[in-house]
């Protein structure tokens, strides 16, 4: 669809990756949709609840949100103020795109790096989230998600870069989040 | 200063807002020589707010409804109940869109899901083309003051981060949005009925049989608003619980019972809905960090002092607030505006004696107009794409509606009682 063009094996790898992403996202959301009402049922009918369910649900919110954010970076569908790029065309637009994507990639890499140190610290500290699950394993989503997003935007930057250098024809613009086809 | 200007430029050039906000937090904290992993710690707070569970669950339920035949049934039902009035179809459009938007979180889905049904129906009944276009485009964001619309929840979440005393309760926001939302609907309905008087051919007697059939047709969906609103207002369900029940119920009804969404399509609906959730959550996450920085450096307090020196009456402040919010709504989408601006203006507004719940309603009512104003009004673009008209044409068509909405926004702003009447103390 709106992805960075790739050929052959690379395209196939990308498709598999997208499948896995969609699968994990569906699994996480599915777990949330089942677990949350189950917990209510327990409260209503048996006046009790699973002690680990509420913290798990809260973590699921973060994970679903982060996987959603990774998904939104597929096709550059993050929320933005899209004023100038509507006016620009061709090479100028590609140059602007290059600058913006490099910016996004850099920011995501910095956040990913500092999330990683955050995870390291937590790991040394050894706190437990619920049951026997250590907190740091749940926090891994942050460096992972920001790295994934950084990679996507680095690829967009590369694509725009090749347009700037005249190696490729300008492509079509992607659709933002919440903007249905 | 230099850094902030560069960030503003990046935002205007179209960089994702989450990256711009993250960058501002990183810059701010590094200037204060705070370890930057604090940004990650702040983002991780997304996993410590139970109320956030409502966001993915309601959004998922809304997208499921949008993919099913529920929009068609909703139009049939409102048409059977209200279509007999003169100008009834316009009212049908307003009511159906408002209900649908409340459930889908004002994300532009309404125009796509309902507009495609309502626009041809309006044209068929001889409603003027420009009027129909304007009505549908405007209706696309109507209803975001009604529970359980996402922007209301998000305002509550952001306000709760401010540690106010007493805290802002989301239930209160739901109650507060009711009358102002109705005011907007009544005003738009009156204008519509007046505007099309004598030109449309649709007046017909109330058809009791069709009404019964339409109710039976929507029998599975009719309990939804009752469960959600009744459950929340009566205190039987917490917000996230109402969302959980709604999501599971809609999933079972539309996929298993009605079978309108094939199982194979489910992952796609899940992904589409979570793209919106992800886009909002990541902005919320990074803005927790940037807000923390702003509050640490007492930006709101200093701003308040500066404004206080120049603006002494609450009335003048409200006028400035309206102007500011309208401009903001022209530039930013409602979700980013909420997480970015509310932490800054809420303390200032409280300083002027404005109730935090009332401020929320003022904020959203102003932002709603932003959906239909250039340069970035989302409804304009979706309608322009959907109905194959230029953005300028769509904007011209929405102008009369925009003027009416502006008038209601003024009423909502200067009459706090309208918002606070239903709020329990």
| Nearest CA-CA distance, residue A149 and chain B, Å | 10
The answer to whether A37 and B244 have CB atoms below 8 angstroms apart is yes
Q: What does the alpha-carbon distance between residue B5 and residue B17 come to, in Å, rounded to a whole number?
A: 15
Number of H helices, E strands in chain A: 5, 2
By Cβ distance, the residue of A67, A69, A108 closest to B279 is A69
According to the model, what pLDDT value does residue A179 have?
41
End-to-end CA distance of chain B: 43
Is B50 within 8 Å of chain A by CB? Answer: yes
| Nearest CA-CA distance, residue B373 and chain A, Å | 13
The stretch B164-184 carries a mean pLDDT of 91
Residue A20 CB neighbours (<10 A): 10
The answer to whether B178 and B146 have CB atoms below 8 angstroms apart is yes
According to the model, what pLDDT value does residue A157 have?
93
pLDDT tens figures, B9-54: 888 888 999 999 999 999 999 988 889 999 999 999 999 988 899 9
Looking at chain B, which residue has its C-alpha nearest residue A108? Answer: B19
| Nearest CA-CA distance, residue A4 and chain B, Å | 17
Report chain A residues whose CB lies below 8 A from the CB of B256.
none
Residues with Cβ < 8 Å from A120, sequence gap 6 or more?
A136
According to the model, what pLDDT value does residue A170 have?
67
CA torsion sign, A66 to A71 to A76 to A77? negative
| Nearest CA-CA distance, residue A14 and chain B, Å | 17
- Going from the C-alpha of B263 to that of each of B256, B259, B269, B331, the distances in angstroms are 9, 8, 10, 39
pLDDT at A173 over 60: no
According to the model, what pLDDT value does residue B88 have?
86
pLDDT at A175 over 50: no
**CB pair distance less than 8 Å for B279 and A108:** no
The stretch B150-171 carries a mean pLDDT of 88
ipTM of the modeled complex: 0.89
> How many CB contacts within 8 angstroms connect chain A with chain B?
222
Element (H, E) at A133: strand A133-134
According to the model, what pLDDT value does residue B201 have?
65
pLDDT at B253 over 60: yes
pLDDT tens figures, A16-25: 999 999 999 9
**Residue A172 three-state SS:** coil
**CB pair distance less than 8 Å for B277 and A108:** no
Report chain A residues whose CB lies below 8 A from the CB of B283.
79
Report chain A residues whose CB lies below 8 A from the CB of B240.
36
Is A41 within 8 Å of chain B by CB? Answer: no
Report chain B residues whose CB lies below 8 A from the CB of A70.
278
Q: What does the alpha-carbon distance between residue B401 and residue B422 come to, in Å, rounded to a whole number?
A: 27
According to the model, what pLDDT value does residue B342 have?
92
Report chain A residues whose CB lies below 8 A from the CB of B15.
80, 100, 103-104
pLDDT at A3 over 60: no
According to the model, what pLDDT value does residue B80 have?
87
- Going from the C-alpha of B11 to that of each of A93, B46, B324, B336, the distances in angstroms are 15, 24, 18, 12
**CB pair distance less than 8 Å for A54 and B15:** no
Q: Please give the distance of CA B265 from its chain centroid, rounded to a whole number.
A: 27
- Stronger pLDDT, A132 or B279, i.e. the higher one: B279
pLDDT at A62 over 90: yes
Residue among B105, B155, B154, B141 nearest B378 (CA): B141
Is B267 within 8 Å of chain A by CB? Answer: yes
Is B58 within 8 Å of chain A by CB? Answer: no
Range from A28-42, A53-67, B198-212 carrying the lowest mean pLDDT: B198-212
Is A31 within 8 Å of chain B by CB? Answer: no
Neighbouring C-alpha atoms within 13 Å toward the C-beta of A172 = 7
Is B51 within 8 Å of chain A by CB? Answer: no
Report chain B residues whose CB lies below 8 A from the CB of A69.
18, 278-279, 281-282
The answer to whether B178 and B170 have CB atoms below 8 angstroms apart is no
Interface of A with B in 95-154 (CB under 8 A): 96-97, 99-100, 103-104, 107-108, 110-111, 114-115, 117-119, 121, 138-139, 142
The stretch A112-123 carries a mean pLDDT of 94
Report chain B residues whose CB lies below 8 A from the CB of A71.
271, 274-275, 278
């Amino acid at each position: 669809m709106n992805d960075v063009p790739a050929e052959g094996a690379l395209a196939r790898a990308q498709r598999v990756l997208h499948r896995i992403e969609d699968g994990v996202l569906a699994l996480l959301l599915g777990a949330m949709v089942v677990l949350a009402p189950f917990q209510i049922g327990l409260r209503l009918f048996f006046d009790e609840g699973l002690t680990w369910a509420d913290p798990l649900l809260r973590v699921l919110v973060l994970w679903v949100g982060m996987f959603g954010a990774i998904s939104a970076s597929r096709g550059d569908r993050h929320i933005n103020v899209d004023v100038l790029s509507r006016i620009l065309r061709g090479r100028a637009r590609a140059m602007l795109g290059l600058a913006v994507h490099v910016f996004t990639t850099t920011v995501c890499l910095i956040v990913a790096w500092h999330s990683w140190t955050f995870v390291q610290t937590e790991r040394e500290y050894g706190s437990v989230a619920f049951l026997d699950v250590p907190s740091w394993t749940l926090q891994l989503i942050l460096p992972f998600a920001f790295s994934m997003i950084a990679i996507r935007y680095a690829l967009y930057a590369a694509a725009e870069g090749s347009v700037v250098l005249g190696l490729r024809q300008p492509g079509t613009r992607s659709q933002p989040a919440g903007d249905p086809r | 200063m230099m850094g902030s200007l560069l960030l503003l430029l990046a935002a205007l050039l179209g960089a994702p807002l989450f990256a711009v906000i993250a960058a501002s937090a990183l810059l701010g904290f590094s200037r204060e020589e705070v370890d930057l992993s604090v940004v990650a710690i702040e983002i991780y707070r997304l996993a410590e707010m139970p109320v956030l569970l409502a966001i993915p669950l309601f959004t998922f339920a809304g997208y499921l409804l949008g993919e099913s035949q529920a929009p068609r049934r909703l139009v049939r039902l409102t048409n059977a109940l209200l279509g007999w009035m003169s100008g009834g179809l316009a009212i049908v459009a307003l009511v159906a869109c408002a209900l649908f938007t409340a459930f889908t979180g004002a994300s532009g889905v309404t125009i796509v899901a309902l507009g495609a049904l309502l626009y041809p129906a309006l044209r068929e009944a001889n409603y003027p083309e420009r009027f129909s276009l304007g009505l549908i485009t405007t209706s696309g964001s109507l209803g975001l003051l009604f529970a359980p619309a996402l922007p209301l929840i998000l305002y509550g979440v952001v306000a709760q981060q401010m540690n106010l005393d007493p805290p802002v309760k989301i239930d209160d926001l739901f109650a507060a949005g009711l009358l102002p939302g109705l005011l907007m609907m009544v005003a738009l309905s009156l204008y519509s009925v007046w505007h099309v008087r004598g030109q449309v051919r649709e007046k017909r007697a109330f058809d009791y049989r069709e009404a019964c059939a339409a109710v039976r047709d929507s029998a599975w969906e009719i309990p939804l608003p009752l469960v959600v609103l009744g459950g929340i207002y009566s205190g039987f369900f917490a917000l996230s619980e109402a969302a959980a029940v709604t999501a599971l119920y809609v999933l079972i009804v539309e996929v298993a019972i009605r079978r309108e969404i094939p199982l194979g399509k489910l992952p796609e609906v899940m992904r589409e809905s979570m793209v919106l959730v992800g886009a909002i959550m990541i902005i919320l996450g990074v803005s927790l960090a940037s807000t923390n920085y702003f509050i640490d450096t007492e930006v709101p307090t200093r701003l308040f002092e500066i404004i206080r020196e120049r603006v002494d009456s609450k009335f003048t402040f409200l006028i400035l607030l309206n102007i500011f919010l309208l401009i903001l709504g022209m530039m930013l989408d409602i979700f980013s505006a909420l997480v970015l601006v509310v932490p800054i203006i809420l303390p200032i507004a409280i300083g002027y004696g404005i109730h935090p719940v009332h401020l929320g309603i003022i904020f959203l009512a102003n932002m709603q107009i932003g959906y239909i104003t250039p340069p970035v009004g989302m409804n304009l673009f979706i309608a322009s794409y959907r109905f194959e008209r230029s953005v300028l044409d769509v904007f011209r068509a929405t102008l009369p509606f925009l003027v009416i909405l502006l008038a209601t926004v003024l009423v909502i702003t200067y009459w706090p009682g309208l918002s606070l009447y239903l709020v329990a103390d």
